[in-house]
Amino acid sequence: MSYLNPKAGETILDLGCGTGDLTNEICRSGAAVTGVDSSAEMIVAARTKFPKIEFHQMDARNLGLDIQFDAIFSNAVLHWIPEKEMVIKGMHSHVKKNGRIILEFGGKGNIQQMLTALRDTFTKRGYYDNAKIDFWYFPSISEYATELEKQGFRVLHAEHFDRITPLESNEGIKDWFKMFGDNFFIGLPSAEKEDILNEVQHKLIATHFINGAWNADYARIQFVAVKL
């Protein structure tokens, strides 16, 4: 939000707005904010919570708004979309010349220890196909900066940092994978899934259970860029 620094009268797109909480924070600056998200459920919730803000159900790979914005803001979304070229192209066409994009999402090494523990457990049990599943996109600074530059952006700021993040649940690692990683367990019986998650969580006690709480080994990447 500090990098966005929204101003009254600006037009801003919140790309992947979820239930609209950050969209509303931006709106308080006096900017005219539009939120988009691919989830119909999220958009319904956002419209219910913040009826004065404009929200649309829309895929970031196929943006179709009839406006160019002063800025595009996106938080914790783009690692869910491997088709980065399509997303960057859409951002480029929806931001004004010299307009800015402010992005933060999972970077290279994000949840690396958690993924290693999960894949090792799958492999040990003979679930080789499950161990190879990969549906996230965690780039390095150089990789993503190159993609931005290819499509007409100039990178002003790029940062890649670790952010150890507490998980609220007592079954932190298990519940995290149930919420965000269900695609790994396609075709597995529920009892086997539970057993695998128990083993994964046990493997991570020494590194991820700190001061009585579970933590995720997040690595985040931030970009500020302007359209040439």
Query: Tell me: the pLDDT tens digits for 130-178?
Result: 999 999 999 999 999 999 999 999 999 999 999 999 998 888 999 999 9
Enumerate domains of the chain plus CATH numbers. Answer: 1-106 (3.40.50.150)
pLDDT of the residue at 168: 87
Per-residue three-class SS string for the chain:
CCCCCCCCCCEEEEECCCCCHHHHHHHCCCCEEEEEECCHHHHHHHHHHCCCCEEEECCHHHCCCCCCEEEEEEECCHHHCCCHHHHHHHHHHCEEEEEEEEEEEECCCCCHHHHHHHHHHHHHCCCHHHHHCCCCCCCCHHHHHHHHHHCCEEEEEEEEEEEEEECCCCCHHHHHHHHHCHHHHCCCCHHHHHHHHHHHHHHCHHHHEECCEEEEEEEEEEEEEEEC
Query: Tell me: the pLDDT tens digits for 165-222?
Result: 999 888 899 999 999 999 999 999 999 999 999 999 999 999 999 999 999 999 999 9
Taking the complete model, does pTM exceed 0.75, yes or no? yes
